[in-house]
Structure 1
């Protein structure tokens, strides 16, 4: 892969694990995924990003109260 198509690090500097200690609340990765990120191949990083998209909760549009 060329640099323009490489998978960017998803860290957004909100480094806090969820209450279950399973996923980072900022980027959605596990501690193992975070720790291995620099050593992962581009296909491995793409797999992690697909998993992150699937594990993030779907957010609905808030309903305003009047």
Structure 2
């Protein structure tokens, strides 16, 4: 029996904003990206729960045309 795949927020748009220290595709930190498969399910769920807030904060700090994330 194969183990269940690890849930990930990756959207295959990998660009790390060095000033923010975040991937602007999934909004994980460099540490989180590197350790993702090592985290427990609970740790990954906690990070996943924080991502919408990170995205909103990033969008507030980096508005593009018409308020979109640049």
Give the TM-score of the pair, scaled to structure 2: 0.66
Q: Which has the higher contact order (CA 8 A, sep 6+)?
A: 1
Moved more, 29-38 or 45-54: 45-54
Query: Are 2:44 and 1:45 aligned?
Result: yes
Which position in structure 1 is the counterpart of 2:28? Answer: 29
Asked if 2 retains the 8 angstrom alpha-carbon contact of 1:7 and 1:45, the reply is no
Structure 2 unaligned spans of 5+:
60-65
Query: Are 2:1 and 1:15 aligned?
Result: no
Q: Secondary structure at the match of 2:37?
A: helix
Report which of the two structures shows the higher radius of gyration computed on alpha carbons.
1
Which structure carries more strand by proportion?
Answer: 2
Q: How many residues align structurally? A: 57
RMSD: 2.5
Moved over 3 A (4+): none
